Amino acid sequence: MRIGLFGINLGACARPEVAARVAQAAEAAGFDSVWTGEHVVLPDPQAPPSPAPPQTPFLDPLVALAHLAAATARVRLATGIVILPQRNPLVLAKEAATLDVVSGGRALLGVGAGYLHQEFAALGVPFERRGPRTDEYIDAMRALWTMERPAFSGAFVSFAGVDAQPRPVQKGGVPIVVGGASPGALRRAVARGHGWYGFALDPAATARCLEGLARAARDVERPAALGRLEITVTPPPGDLAEQAPRYRELGVDRLALLGMRAHESALLALVEEGAKLVG
């Protein structure tokens, strides 16, 4: 089971020099990936369902990962996740392709439909139909990455007679990882994702989501080009040595450890603990 680190752009890692040192330590320890989170804005004062106080520093995920591309050599650079319906898909496709190019093909684009209605309102993006918008944006980005003459026509985005270079280094475009535990998110992962990402899920919750993915696989067709669905989970705080075998038994491919720490020393201690699980 592979080991990653979530939170490389927030908390203590909102300081770029700290993020670089932590990412380098994770790479040296054998971690396969580092993962960002995203909220463009947060409600002030904090109000449900907001996950964090409004003063929590969040670096932009793509900018943060580009910084880390220069500080690392092997570790994969993943968004966990970008709130896709809040983004212009052509701009995001360009940003993700650029990250893939500057990192030598190490980008992973984790996406989700979002849930924080106050954030959507502040950005002027409709909260309704965010699921279908997410599906369409994934398809539009893939068209831009893979078609010789990119064109797409949908309910939310349409384009033709354009191109965007350079294309991603990775064949077929930047791999898409779909986050979320709702039935729609699970169907999206099966139909459109190279991988699925579950955040802060204990083994029991992970098992329920895997059952949901199996049900979704009976209902929607998975394109052969996507290959096997890779499973990544961020476990809640706890004893990693005790938790890890339970996730492994479930068939989880990667644990992205919860690295939301206020101090660099605590993050480096987590990396040291996670190094014992590598392999």
What per-residue confidence (pLDDT) applies to 89?
98
Task: Write the DSSP symbol of residue 175.
Answer: P
pLDDT in tens, 64-121: 999 999 999 999 999 999 999 999 999 999 999 999 999 999 999 999 999 999 999 9
3-class DSSP assignment, residue 230: strand
CATH number at residue 165: 3.20.20.30
Q: How many domains does the chain have?
A: 1
Provide CB contacts within 8 A for 219, sequence distance 6+: 187
Pick from 38, 37, 34, 40: nearest CA to 21: 34
Torsional sign, CA 99, 105, 110, 111: positive
pLDDT in tens, 190-243: 999 999 999 999 999 999 999 999 999 999 999 999 999 999 999 999 999 999
Whether the pTM exceeds 0.95: the reply is yes
- Please provide the average confidence, as pLDDT, over all residues in the chain: 97
Parallel/antiparallel/unpaired status of strands 152-153 and 107-112: unpaired
3-class DSSP assignment, residue 229: coil
Q: Which domain holds residue 12?
A: 2-275
pLDDT at 279 over 80: no
CA distance 209 to 244: 17
